[in-house]
Structure 1
Amino acid sequence: MGKYSKDAAELLNAIGGSDNISAVTHCVTRMRFVLQDPEKANIPEIEKISAVKGTFTQSGQFQVIIGNDVPEFYNDFVKVSGKEGVSKDQAKVAAKQNMNVIQRIMATLAEIFTPLIPALVVGGLILGFRNVLEGIQFDALDGQTIVQVSQFWQGVNDFLWLPGEAIFHFLPVGITWSIARKMGTTQILGIILGICLVSPQLLNAYGVSGATEIPQWDFGFFAIDKIGYQAQVIPAMMAGFLLSYLEIWLRKVIPNAISMILVPLFSLLPTIFIAHTVLGPIGWKIGSAISTVVNAGLTSSLNWLFGAVFGFFYAPLVITGLHHMTNAIDLQLIADFNGTNLWPMIALSNIAQGSAVLGIILINRGNKEEEQVSIPAMISCYLGVTEPAMFGINLKYMYPFIAGMVGSGLAGMVAIFTGVQASSIGVGGLPGILSIKTGTLSFALCMLIAIVVPVVLTYVFNKYRVFAKKEAF
């Protein structure tokens, strides 16, 4: 008998038995199930199991939060159920049977951008640090920047431009690679396509607006502008999907004996041509239009209202999976306006949800059983991982979730009103302040709001049973 054999057997029974499981796998903290009939899962009974910290459904998968012991729990569950586990990718494929069109689109966006997030976080931190070095004039330095008074820090600043440029200017390479990876096509072709969108031979996207003359490929009876798509998201996505679908189709029609030669050739070259003649210009206009509309809301006379609404509703967006689209919008804002006002509000929402858990901890201090769930959830939330907090605690009792939404809305309103801007996507919690480009002190104030307001409201809502879904711990 394993440590979790009893709990695993209870979960198997409550989830509808082995016959109701299409696929099962696990991630860092959760069991992930694709169920034949999700309605058969008895959620109240599942959440009574001692090893279970909470449940939620996302991207067609029924997910059970276990915690850091999930590998051991998973092994015991496989033995009890007789269900052999599958890979995460196989589980995602199986989960599509439970997803509608919107959910599939959001799942696809998530699979494209998730592998890029570590690089984007690093890039955000680098840009934020470089902003401190070269963009802030300090009174202690007689109104000069750090790089103006220190050769060492000037060298550091110049050196950090190398990885910063690699991450953001050459972002299309990462996007086209990630799409090829997600679609199961040839990844090196995705990389080459991305390089062909940002090659030094092309006019840099940042220099197009000020260029007096745009170089061209002259074919005699027609010409193509040599324009690069540095930092552009939508042109890269459109080209990446064209390459993958073209390769998939060619594999079906070209005989295996010559496919190794002809499939790469006739998928890559037409895609590069179409990318520079059709998809690139169209994608650029679409991306610019989206970022212009969002930026108009962020900079209008009613920007405080935009910030309040976005901050309030971001956490519910996470539940639906629609929050994945903000990655593309953030990156487009950075490309077009050299910064994003959107991402700071996302970081504040994460902080607010973690602070709601802090309120639960303070209400139930001394309860060791509750602390085993709430304290790790709060810490992970403050570091940008919200799922244990939101699904394991806040949504379970509802009133902490709403308290976090209110705190996030107020913090978002102040952030937009005071012009807080991030260099890029960063760590989505307390460390997010390191990525702030403009309004660092204002963001610190917003963090304070996102901490204090949810804690106070959680206490008040609990005391007067406002929005209470269940009894507190």
Structure 2
Amino acid sequence: MGKYEQDARRLLEYVGGKENIAAVSHCVSRMRFVLNDPAKADVAKIEALKSAKGTFTQAGQFQVIIGNTVSDFYNDFIAVSGIDGVSKDAVKSAAKQNQNALQKVMSVLAEIFAPLIPAIITGGLILGFRNCIDSIYFFNNGTQTLCDISQFWSGVDSFLWLIGEAIFHMLPVCICWSVTKKMGTTQSLGIVLGLTLVSGQLLNAYAVASTAAADIPKWDFGFFTINMIGYQAQVIPAMLAAFTLVYLERFFRKICPAVISMIVVPFCSLVLSVIIAHTVLGPIGWKIGTFISDIVYAGISGSFRVVFGAIFGFVYAPLVITGLHHMSNAIDMQLIADFGGTMLWPMIALSNIAQGSAVLGMIYLQRKNADAQEVNVSSCISCYLGVTEPAMFGVNLKFHFPFICGMIGSAIAAVVCVATSTTANAIGVGGIPGILSIQPAYMLSFALCMAIAIVVPFALTVIVGRKKGVA
């Protein structure tokens, strides 16, 4: 048996025993439980375990933060409990029994966008680098960029756009694939559907606004026509089309005899979903997406943007606890499609940094507490690199006041962020490295915001912690 045997036995007892566990798995740093009766879990005793760095409940899962050694702990837990572990997907499926309708919607959104995040982050970094070499006039008295004076860097700039265009313009392909993957239907049909939304035969979405209505190409069927408009970078049209494909495939698979299903199901599902996408869902989805992004953009850039920034910066961390923050991914991508960048994501990165800085304050307050530092230091580092759960649930929420101090620092940083119109090319690493995804013109203002997000929560946490006698 491994070194975590005793803590594993205690954890089994504290979560309500084997009979209270519907499913268990683990991720990079956490044990993930689906409990038949979540009320039976003794949170205080679990958090008192030496191996546990905190607990929280999200998306119907009771999660125990263990840290980098979670796989070893998990193996010992499986051994002492006699429970067969399952995959994370199986845990997520089982967790639906503990979710309300809103949580289920947020869970679906999260699972659709999660596989796309690495590509989107890569695209954001590429766009940021390209802006540095082709949009900043450093040379010849501020009249030329690096690309203007160097054929090599001009070639690099052109080559990198191959990747950037594939990530952002072809985003509907990724979304349609991810939806079909999540819903368990034919992924290749999802890819083909996505390609029909961004085909080169269509008028590029970015050219629609500058094209007269009479000049928009059309499919002419004699007695009616359909506009040949592409949906490059559009999020909601792609999601609506993909879910239509999913439910059409399920419908035809249910009613179609097995002997001909291989032919009828994919043909009918794909053709009908493409027709519906270009005649109904695409135009409607475009209007919905534009409406949402216009509202958010008005909040970020309008007369009351400072108020919007303060509220968003203050409440984002609590939104993470509820899982509602997953909605921001879709809004960010729509802002990027409509306005060429997002002013929402920089505030998200600042909120993460602020929570890490609150932990930094706890590191200072508990500098003589070796046991506490094992959790504090690793949590702070991971938070600054964009992984907030260990910091928020393992430290800040445990003491309460650091979490509030982080929220206050985030709000102040967000006010400066929107006041300076700081804009990101795309979603990036949600911590200090996030500055690489900021548009070059706003890197200095974002650096100022980062300084605020570091200094204010740290100072507030130290001041409040001293008054509370934390050590």
TM-score bucket of the superposed structures, by smaller chain:
over 0.9
**Secondary structure in 1 matching 2:32:** strand
Q: Does structure 1 retain, via aligned residues, the 8 Å contact 2:349–2:386?
A: yes
How many residues of Structure 1 are paired with residues of Structure 2 in the alignment?
Answer: 468
Matched residue of 1:423: which SS? coil
- What is the CA distance between 1:210 and its match in structure 2? 0.9
Q: Deviations over 1:244-276 (max 9, x none)?
A: 111112111111111111110111000000000
Pick aligned residue for 1:395 from 391, 394, 397: 397
Using the alignment, how far apart are the partners of 2:164 and 2:354 within structure 1?
30
> Secondary structure of 1:421's match?
coil
Structure 1 residue identity aligned to 2:463: V
Q: Tell me, in whole angstroms, the C-alpha distance in 1 between the residues paired with 2:251 and 2:464.
A: 57
Gaps of 5+ in 2: none
Which residue does 1:327 correspond to in 2?
329
Map of 2:257 onto structure 1: 255
Contact preservation (8 Å) 1:51, 1:66: yes
Aligned to 1:64: 64
Q: Report what 1:245 is aligned to.
A: 247
Q: Select the residue among 359, 362, 376 that pairs with 1:360.
A: 362
Distance 1:297 1:144 in 2: 35
Deviation at 1:368, TM superposition (A): 2.0
Q: Aligned letter for 1:378?
A: C
Cα deviation for residue 366 of structure 1 reads 3.4
Alpha-carbon separation, structure 2, partners of 1:251 and 1:13: 45
State the AA in 1 paired with 2:448.
L
Task: Check the 8 A contact 1:147/1:153 in 2, yes or no.
Answer: yes
The one of 297, 300, 310 equivalent to 1:298 is 300
1:396-427 deviation line (CA, Å, top 9, x unaligned): 11111011001100000001001100011111
1:30 aligns with 2:30: yes
Residue 470 (structure 2) pairs with residue 452 (structure 1): no
Read off the aligned partner of 2:460 and give its amino acid letter.
Answer: L
Q: Which amino acid aligns with 1:439?
A: Y
CA distance in structure 2 between the partners assigned to 1:352 and 1:5 by the alignment: 36
Q: Gaps (5+ residues) in structure 1?
A: 466-470
- CA drift at 1:84: 0.4
Q: Equivalent residue for 1:468?
A: none
Match of 1:98 in 2: 98
User: Aligned AA for 1:287?
Assistant: G
8 Å CA contact 2:365, 2:466 repeated in 1: no
Q: Counterpart amino acid of 2:114?
A: T
**Equivalences for residues 188-267 of structure 1 within 5 A:** 188-212=188-212, 213-267=215-269
Structure 2: distance between partners of 1:456 and 1:37: 40
Question: What is the correspondence of 1:293-442 to structure 2 with a 5 Å cutoff?
Answer: 293-437=295-439, 438-442=441-445
1:166 and 2:166 equivalent? yes
Distance in 1 between residues matched to 2:142 and 2:23, nearest whole Å: 64
Asked whether the 8 Å contact 1:397–1:472 carries over to 2, the reply is: no
Q: Tell me by how many angstroms 1:137 deviates.
A: 1.6
Q: What is the RMSD computed on CA atoms of the aligned residues?
A: 1.0
Comparing 421-430 with 250-259, which one deviates more in the overlay? 250-259
Query: 1:301: Cα distance to partner?
Result: 1.6
Instruction: Say if 2:139 and 2:146, in contact at 8 Å, map to a contact too.
Output: no
1:95-131 Cα distance to aligned partner (Å, 9 max, x none): 0000000000000000000000000000000111111
Equivalent in the alignment of 1:285 = 287
Percent same amino acid among aligned pairs?
63
